[in-house]
Chains A and B, each alone.
Chain A
Amino acid sequence: MMGFDLAALLGLFGLTSAFALVGLVLAGWMCWRIAEKAGLPGWAGAAAILLTVTGIGSLISLILLWVFAFMRWPRDGLALAGASPAAAPGPGMAPAAPAALPLPPRVLADRRGWMLYDSRPSYTLTGEAGGGPDELVVAEPSVGRPHARLLTASGRIGLQDLGSPGGTYIDGARLLPAHGPRDITAVRTVKLGNVELALSRT
């Protein structure tokens, strides 16, 4: 009888341990993905969960959760990359570089992307450089002078058409000046005239 009780008890512990192990692996996997979505290395998220197997791990994981919620995520930096299938030389996007770094050229001949930070509230997308400090030049005839305005604030990015004949499109939908500024944080492509730009985050 004693042996049966012991076996049942051990079986219960085994079952509990199995559930705990599955839960731990599942949580580690999900936290890996969450960390990657925030722009952090995935292993950092998984490691935060695996710390729970240590003696005071639950407390550490709780602290890390709070740190993760209120820290600055690498995702918060925006990247606007050119991906033009229509324009022969490819689009050029002027930069908004950190003050400590030298400004790259305003017009790019290849398909390199530009990093956009929200330190500057707005940029003017134009087809020709006019000398303004906030200009993003897309050297293509179908792009107006100016064409549209990019707005950045708190990790979000907006777009406003300035009435250029070439037209502005957000994921294929026409943006008119009457629409005013539209949030394009979650969109994938923006088209200025014949130039298509891909929006991504780093």
Chain B
Amino acid sequence: MITVIGWLLGLGMFALMAILVVHVLFALLLIVPSWRIFERAGFSGLLALFHLVPVVGPFIVMAVLAFSDWPKGEGRPKPAHPA
């Protein structure tokens, strides 16, 4: 019985590690371009690491880029500065 439980635990750990590795590999595909986009926008590239957060990570990244002022300027015209 203990042997079976041990096997099951080992199998579970293996599956968990496999899922983790696949998740990190897929996140890397998103982190590399996002890092560059963040730097071009004027933010720290480290913000791209939010892609490592499961499920909501990409939404956090998109929200930061979409709803904050880009320090290096934006293509959209800004409202006129009061004189």
Spell out A's residues near B (CB within 8 Å).
23, 26-27, 29-31, 33-34, 36-40, 62, 65-66, 68-70, 73-75, 78, 83, 85, 155-156, 171, 185-186, 188-189, 196, 198, 200-202
Flag if A62 contacts B29 (CB, 8 Å): yes
Cα A39 to Cα B74 in complex, Å, equals 7
Q: Chain B interface mostly helix, strand, loop or mixed? A: helix
Which residues of chain B come closer than 8 Å to A26, judged between CB atoms? 59
Spell out B's residues near A (CB within 8 Å).
29-30, 32-34, 36-37, 40-42, 58-59, 62-63, 65-67, 70-78, 80-81, 83
Which residues of chain A come closer than 8 Å to B37, judged between CB atoms? 68-69
Q: Which of B30, B63, B65, B80 contacts A37 (CB 8 A)?
A: B65
Flag if A65 contacts B65 (CB, 8 Å): no
Flag if A69 contacts B34 (CB, 8 Å): yes
Determine how close the nearest CB of chain A comes to the CB of B41; give it in whole angstroms.
Answer: 7
19 CB < 8 A contacts A-B: A34-B62, A34-B65, A37-B66, A37-B76, A39-B75, A39-B76, A65-B30, A65-B34, A66-B32, A69-B37, A73-B40, A74-B75, A75-B73, A75-B74, A75-B75, A185-B71, A185-B72, A196-B83, A198-B81
